[in-house]
Structure 1
Amino acid sequence: MAKLTATQVASLAKRDAKKHTDGGGLYFCVRNAGSPYWMLRYSHAGKRREATLGAYPALSLAEARLRAENMKKDLREGRDPLVEKQKRQTPDIQTTRQLFDDWYQSDLTKRLQHPQIPKRIYTKEIDPVIGNYPINDVTPKDIRRIIQRVVESGRPTIANDTLMYLKQLFRHGMKLGLCNTNPAAPFTATDAGGLEHSRERALTPEEIQHAFEVFRQNISSFGRDNYLACCLFLVLGVRKSELCEALWEEFDLDAAVWELPAHRSKTGTAISIPLPTQAVEWLATLKGFACGSAYVFPARRASKRPHMGPDTLNRAISKLFGRETGRKRQPPNKMGDLEHFTVHDLRRTFRSLAAAEGVPSHVAERCLNHKLKGVEGIYDRHDYFLQRKDAHEKVANKALSFLAGN
């Protein structure tokens, strides 16, 4: 059969859908919708295969023949052209940073509800040390250096998380055949932050009064928005990311309700959070501070994230305790003998205050947006909105006596 000519191909491209052979397995394929394209039909390992070479007219007749010949060369050498094509299309991954980017896009974003957590730890703790390193150049000594930097900064939990993500990152590299060993594999929690114990810190009424009084005394450096955020955590009991990343569109201050969407809830389920009177007043004040931002707590300086960072509040609190990461000369301790606490401890304090006010356990658990356990969790779909509203009001009224002058 005679081979096609460039003139024939241009004419055939305007006709009805059909496959036209150029010989040797190369076909010019015209379809009813979309551009015509070139296709190579071949057999490999006893299987009939078809490989798309490219669209016409971007790929000319001469270029299609050349591409087909290159694929046939792979066949003669025992390689499947489709497999070789996929290899050429695979991103070139050489450095640790490129490995993380591939892991993040191909795995973390699909598997995790909050992939930004490992991304934040990689960006802050790992990338500055080995981001530019070729993957196979990373050694256990480099892993130890990363872990020690975090440990020496006084963040044992983050040290454990960093080690965990390092192991997973290089395990991903091994899956892709980019490294033969995992340099993080020999290390354990003992080398990082040690075995973690569940925190049980909840502030007593006296501690709440003392801490918030210190906040107010140092309001110019601590920040009015930080102060109001801590007030909200105390009376709402929500998670740090849920409030720090909150959008104004989620709030109806007139109805005193916060509609937390499913994609921002740790449980993956949307929840309506009743707002006590004090919380509505604090949020109205924050709206003025936001200066038109879509976020309740907009970022205060140029950054990749448009909202308050995940460590901002804890850093501000720690500074009042005389702890400031990354500085040799530490600030004065203005909290006195008060035991150190974090934002998450305010969430736990809400639970303690709710119990003290006689709020039933199952209602308090729903206030925390916890899924109810056991048979009750399976069969009781009631959201307890009115009961939760009453619980938040009780806790807020109690807390207000500790927050005089807010």
Structure 2
Amino acid sequence: MAKRELNLLSDIQLRKWISAGAPVAKSDGGGLTFTLSAGGAAAWVLRYRMGGRRQEVTLGRYPDMKLAAARAAAAKRRVAITDGINPADEIRKAKSRKDWTVRQLIKDYREKVFSTLAASTQQSYGRNLVRIENGMGAMSLDSVAPADVVAEIERHDVGWVESFTLWCVLRGIFKHAAGKKMIVASPCAGIQLEAIIGKRPEVRKRLMLTDAEIGVLMNAKMNTENLLSARVLLATGVRISELLTARREHVFLDDARWHIPKSKTGPEMDIPLAPSVVEWFRQLDELAGRSGYVLPARLRTRYKRLDGDANVSKDALREAIDFWIDNHKPKIRRFTPHDLRSTMKSHMRKLGVPRDISEMCLNHKLKGVEGIYDQHAYYDERRHALELWARFLATCQAGEKWNVVPFKQTA
């Protein structure tokens, strides 16, 4: 077999042919060929045989790709050919693959995945998608590396929980890209969130207000809507989201009943309303005007943004409580609306309300086998427990000592 000659060309020859301007096709050996068109475009071409056919691929343009670089690229392609890989096929695959930006990926993710998520998830994911678009939206999808993902997380000083949500969104969009085979592997792979933002802070323990603190809250110097909202939350033990989104059509004051539709946080449920709670709802009903919500939005901009009717902002009551504590300095520990649920649960147990009934009052599912077989709604028992609890709240509000007979299970 004749020895294959390589490295036949020199830089001097290349410059000479470029200066002359005449079309040429000169071999450097091993299939590497320097070509110069009549229009003056110079390029490197690798010619080879595969599958019994003569084929060729363009490696790059001269002088962008120098002679040494062209020889290295040709050597790499020749090794691939020996392994049965056709360079022309690889180039065709690369051209057919969509070269998307991260912004284009996010747009596709919104259409295919984001739209199927729960409303609350869309809210938290949505603001983080905007963060990612602003931070790395213009980047080519193929160029995103793990270091870019880490930089995106470190760019935002938003607290541990929000950083975790941002991390979930980043994993979600790049998982979507990998699923579409737009990237070989997600750049999030191998990244440890704790190494970036540290371990999650200890979860804040729920607070149980004392009898005296309950009395302070029941007489709080807040505007009427906020005070009545705090009282309803404390008296019914509902989740703050359930009260904020409550519609007037679901509150049946003549029946002393509030219907809460099924949601991702719990099944549908009818809540018995004690007489005092019915009165608070009547006052809220008068204040609601023409809105369909028990607690309407207080800003016109929110009405306009949400098609003419909207419930109050999710942060309104929490901010009202903080404002009251900061400005009026009441004798009460700082608490959140959710702490009112733990307050009710703890005090109900002190009043002798059985665990299963107190759990049902909070719309919690019973655990284990008991939860599977016990489908009883405990409506009468819950009514009895909530009325007892309302009388206890009235005693606290009046600053009197509790001396009512503890809860007794009905027959």
Matched, 1:349 2:343: yes
CA contact (8 A) 1:253 1:280 kept: yes
Q: 2:175 aligns with which of 168, 171, 178?
A: 171
Partner of 2:191: 186
Partner of 1:210: 216
Q: Please state whether the residue corresponding to 1:197 is helix, strand or coil.
A: coil
Whole-Å separation in 1 of the counterparts to 2:293 and 2:113: 29
Whole-Å separation in 2 of the counterparts to 1:123 and 1:173: 18
List alignment gaps of at least 5 residues for structure 1. 1-77, 79-86, 323-331
Q: 2:382 aligns with which of 367, 377, 388?
A: 388
Partner of 2:33: none
Whole-Å separation in 2 of the counterparts to 1:184 and 1:309: 37
Whole-Å separation in 1 of the counterparts to 2:190 and 2:231: 43
Q: Please state whether the residue corresponding to 1:142 is helix, strand or coil.
A: helix
Instruction: Report the alpha carbon displacement of residue 383 of structure 1 after superposing the two structures with TM.
Output: 0.6
Whole-Å separation in 2 of the counterparts to 1:122 and 1:398: 42
User: May I ask how many residue pairs the two structures share in their alignment?
Assistant: 291
TM-score by length of 1: 0.62
Instruction: Report the alpha carbon displacement of residue 123 of structure 1 after superposing the two structures with TM.
Output: 3.9
Partner of 1:227: 227
Partner of 1:120: 123
CA contact (8 A) 1:163 1:184 kept: no
Cα separation, partners in 2 of 1:275 and 1:170, compared to 1, 3 Å: farther
Q: Deviations over 1:196-223 (max 9, x none)?
A: 436332211122223444x31xx2xxx3
Q: 2:152 aligns with which of 125, 142, 154?
A: 142
- Please report the RMSD computed on the Cα atoms of aligned residues, expressed in angstroms: 3.3
CA contact (8 A) 2:272 2:382 kept: yes
Q: Please state whether the residue corresponding to 1:308 is helix, strand or coil.
A: coil
Partner of 2:316: 312
1:310-349 matches, within 5 Å, as 310-322=314-326, 334-335=328-329, 338-349=332-343
Q: Which amino acid aligns with 2:313?
A: G
Q: Deviations over 1:310-330 (max 9, x none)?
A: 2222222233444xxxxxxxx
CA contact (8 A) 2:106 2:129 kept: no
1:269-288 matches, within 5 Å, as 269-288=267-286
Partner of 1:289: 287
CA contact (8 A) 2:216 2:397 kept: no
Larger Rg: 2
CA contact (8 A) 2:125 2:166 kept: yes
Whole-Å separation in 2 of the counterparts to 1:242 and 1:93: 41
Q: Please state whether the residue corresponding to 1:254 is helix, strand or coil.
A: helix
Partner of 1:266: 265
Cα separation, partners in 2 of 1:396 and 1:162, compared to 1, 3 Å: farther
List alignment gaps of at least 5 residues for structure 2. 1-88, 90-95, 400-411
Whole-Å separation in 1 of the counterparts to 2:265 and 2:124: 19
1:59-78 matches, within 5 Å, as none
Q: Please state whether the residue corresponding to 1:395 is helix, strand or coil.
A: helix
Q: Please state whether the residue corresponding to 1:403 is helix, strand or coil.
A: helix
Q: Please state whether the residue corresponding to 2:397 is helix, strand or coil.
A: coil
Cα separation, partners in 2 of 1:177 and 1:202, compared to 1, 3 Å: farther
Q: 1:359 aligns with which of 353, 361, 364?
A: 353
Instruction: Report the alpha carbon displacement of residue 386 of structure 1 after superposing the two structures with TM.
Output: 0.3
Partner of 1:40: none
Instruction: Report the alpha carbon displacement of residue 394 of structure 1 after superposing the two structures with TM.
Output: 1.0
Whole-Å separation in 2 of the counterparts to 1:100 and 1:380: 45
TM-score by length of 2: 0.62
CA contact (8 A) 1:140 1:184 kept: no
Whole-Å separation in 1 of the counterparts to 2:189 and 2:202: 19
Whole-Å separation in 2 of the counterparts to 1:388 and 1:104: 43
CA contact (8 A) 1:143 1:184 kept: no
Q: Deviations over 1:243-300 (max 9, x none)?
A: 11111111111101112122x3522x22111111111111111111111111111111
Instruction: Report the alpha carbon displacement of residue 195 of structure 1 after superposing the two structures with TM.
Output: 4.0
Instruction: Report the alpha carbon displacement of residue 170 of structure 1 after superposing the two structures with TM.
Output: 3.5
Cα separation, partners in 2 of 1:250 and 1:336, compared to 1, 3 Å: closer
Q: Please state whether the residue corresponding to 1:287 is helix, strand or coil.
A: helix
Whole-Å separation in 1 of the counterparts to 2:129 and 2:397: 40
Q: Which amino acid aligns with 1:186?
A: I
Q: 1:403 aligns with which of 391, 397, 401?
A: 397
Cα separation, partners in 2 of 1:385 and 1:235, compared to 1, 3 Å: same
Cα separation, partners in 2 of 1:359 and 1:165, compared to 1, 3 Å: farther
Instruction: Report the alpha carbon displacement of residue 169 of structure 1 after superposing the two structures with TM.
Output: 3.7
Q: Please state whether the residue corresponding to 1:200 is helix, strand or coil.
A: coil
Whole-Å separation in 2 of the counterparts to 1:240 and 1:104: 28
Whole-Å separation in 2 of the counterparts to 1:252 and 1:209: 28
Cα separation, partners in 2 of 1:341 and 1:366, compared to 1, 3 Å: same
Whole-Å separation in 2 of the counterparts to 1:102 and 1:295: 35
Q: 2:207 aligns with which of 198, 201, 216?
A: 201
Q: Deviations over 1:310-368 (max 9, x none)?
A: 2222222233444xxxxxxxxx5x44674321111111111112112211110111111
